[in-house]
Structure 1
Amino acid sequence: MACKNLVRAINVNVFTLLLVLAAGWQSPLHAKAPPSGFAALPKQQQAMLDELEQRTFEYFHDSANPANGQMPDHWPEQPGSDYFSSIASIGFGLTAYGIGVERGWMKRDEAVKRTLATLKFFHDAEQGDQSDATGNHGFFYHFLDMQTGKRYHSARWVELSSVDTTWLLYGVLFAQSYYERNTKDEKEIRQLADDIYRRADWKWFTDGNPLVEGGWTPEHGYDLNYYRGYNEAFGLYILALGSPTFGLGADTWKRWTETYDKTWGEFQGQTHLGGGPLFWHQYTHAWIDFRGIQDDYMRAKGIDYFTNSQRATLAQREYAIHNPMQWKGYSSTIWGLTACNGPRGHTPKGEPDRYASDPKRFYGYIARGAGIDYNIDDGTIAPTAAASSIAFVPEIVIPAIEEMKKRYGDNVYTRYGFVDAFNPSFTYTDRPIRTGKVVPDIGWVDNVYIGIDQGPIVAMLENYRSDFVWKVMRKNAYIREGLKRAGFTGGWLDKPAAK
Structure 2
Amino acid sequence: MKKKLYACGILGLMLICSAYVVLKKNNIAVPDQVAELSDEVLLDSVERATFQYFWQGAEPRSGMARERIHVDGIYPQHDEDVIATGGSGFGIMAILAAMHRGYITHEEGVKRLQQIVDFLQHADRFHGAWPHWLYPDGKVKPFSPKDDGGDIVETAYLVQGLLCARQYLMQGDEQDKRLAKQTDQLWKTVEWNWYQHGQQVLYWHWSPDYGWAMNFPIHGYNECLIAYILAASSPTHAIPASAYHHGWAEDGKIVSPSRHLGYELQLHHQGAAMGGPLFWAHYSYLGLNPHGLRDRYADYWKENVDQTMINYLWCVKNPLHYKGYGSDNWGLTASYSVDGYAAHAPGDKTDLGVISPTAAVSSIVYTPKESLQAIRYWLGDPQMKQKLWGPYGFYDAFSETANWYPQRYLAIDQGPQVVMIENYRSGLLWRLFMSCPEVQQGLKKLGFQFTAMK
Q: Which residue of 2 aligns with 1:224?
A: 215
Tell me the secondary structure at the aligned position of residue 239 of structure 2: coil
Cα distance between partner residues in 2 of 1:52 and 1:71: 18
1:207 to 193, 197, 211: 197
Change (3 A) 1:109 1:67: farther
Q: Which runs of 4+ in 1 moved over 6 A?
A: none
Q: Which residue of 1 aligns with 2:405?
A: 445
| Alignment of 1:414 onto 2:380 | no
Cα distance between partner residues in 1 of 2:133 and 2:83: 5
Backbone CA RMSD of aligned residues: 2.0
1:44 shift after superposition: 2.8
Q: Which residue of 2 aligns with 1:94?
A: 92
Alpha-carbon contact 1:276-1:375 (below 8 Å) kept: no
1:123 shift after superposition: 1.9
| Alignment of 1:305 onto 2:296 | no
Tell me the secondary structure at the aligned position of residue 41 of structure 2: helix
Change (3 A) 1:483 1:396: same
Cα distance between partner residues in 2 of 1:382 and 1:68: 28
Tell me the secondary structure at the aligned position of residue 279 of structure 2: helix
Tell me the secondary structure at the aligned position of residue 95 of structure 1: helix
Equivalent residue letter for 1:238: I
| Alignment of 1:268 onto 2:261 | yes
Equivalent residue letter for 1:214: W
Change (3 A) 1:157 1:323: farther
TM alignment of 1:94-243, pairs within 5 A: 94-125=92-123, 134-145=124-135, 147-152=136-141, 156=145, 158-159=147-148, 160-222=150-212, 223-243=214-234
Q: Which residue of 1 aligns with 2:272?
A: none
1:310 shift after superposition: 0.8
Cα distance between partner residues in 1 of 2:121 and 2:185: 7
1:253 shift after superposition: 2.0
- For residues 315-364 of structure 1, the C-alpha deviation after alignment (integer angstroms, 9 at most, x for no partner) is 111111222222111112211111100122xxxxxxxxxxxxxxxxxxx2
Alpha-carbon contact 1:86-1:144 (below 8 Å) kept: yes
1:152 shift after superposition: 1.9
Aligned length: 402
Q: Which residue of 1 aligns with 2:21?
A: none
Alpha-carbon contact 1:228-1:259 (below 8 Å) kept: no
2:365 to 391, 398, 403: 391
Tell me the secondary structure at the aligned position of residue 355 of structure 2: coil
1:454 to 392, 408, 414: 414
Equivalent residue letter for 1:185: Q
Structure 1: gaps spanning 5 or more residues: 1-40, 126-133, 299-303, 345-363, 427-442
Equivalent residue letter for 1:412: L
Cα distance between partner residues in 2 of 1:168 and 1:388: 18
Alpha-carbon contact 1:290-1:306 (below 8 Å) kept: yes
1:70 shift after superposition: 2.6
1:47 shift after superposition: 1.9
Cα distance between partner residues in 2 of 1:182 and 1:382: 38
1:269 shift after superposition: 1.5
Equivalent residue letter for 1:150: K
1:375 shift after superposition: 4.5
Change (3 A) 1:320 1:379: same
- For residues 439-467 of structure 1, the C-alpha deviation after alignment (integer angstroms, 9 at most, x for no partner) is xxxx1012111111011100110111111
Alpha-carbon contact 1:143-1:151 (below 8 Å) kept: yes
Equivalent residue letter for 1:95: M
Q: Which residue of 1 aligns with 2:343?
A: 367
1:124 shift after superposition: 2.9
1:45 shift after superposition: 2.6
Q: Which residue of 1 aligns with 2:17?
A: none
Q: Which residue of 1 aligns with 2:277?
A: 277
Alpha-carbon contact 2:204-2:216 (below 8 Å) kept: yes
Alpha-carbon contact 1:69-1:90 (below 8 Å) kept: no
Cα distance between partner residues in 2 of 1:43 and 1:484: 43
Alpha-carbon contact 2:390-2:407 (below 8 Å) kept: no
Identity %: 31
| Alignment of 1:248 onto 2:222 | no
Structure 2: gaps spanning 5 or more residues: 1-34, 270-274
Tell me the secondary structure at the aligned position of residue 135 of structure 1: coil
Equivalent residue letter for 1:92: F
Q: Which residue of 2 aligns with 1:61?
A: 55
1:203 shift after superposition: 1.5
- For residues 404-424 of structure 1, the C-alpha deviation after alignment (integer angstroms, 9 at most, x for no partner) is 223411210122110000011
Of 87-96 and 317-326, deviating more is: 317-326
Change (3 A) 1:405 1:198: same
Q: Which residue of 1 aligns with 2:10?
A: none
1:194 shift after superposition: 1.4
| Alignment of 1:292 onto 2:268 | no
Compute the TM-score of the two structures, normalised by the length of structure 1: 0.77
Compute the TM-score of the two structures, normalised by the length of structure 2: 0.84
Of 74-83 and 382-391, deviating more is: 74-83
Q: Which residue of 1 aligns with 2:326?
A: 331
Alpha-carbon contact 2:146-2:210 (below 8 Å) kept: no
Change (3 A) 1:79 1:333: closer
Change (3 A) 1:154 1:148: farther
- For residues 282-340 of structure 1, the C-alpha deviation after alignment (integer angstroms, 9 at most, x for no partner) is 11111111212311122xxxxx2112111111111111122222211111221111110
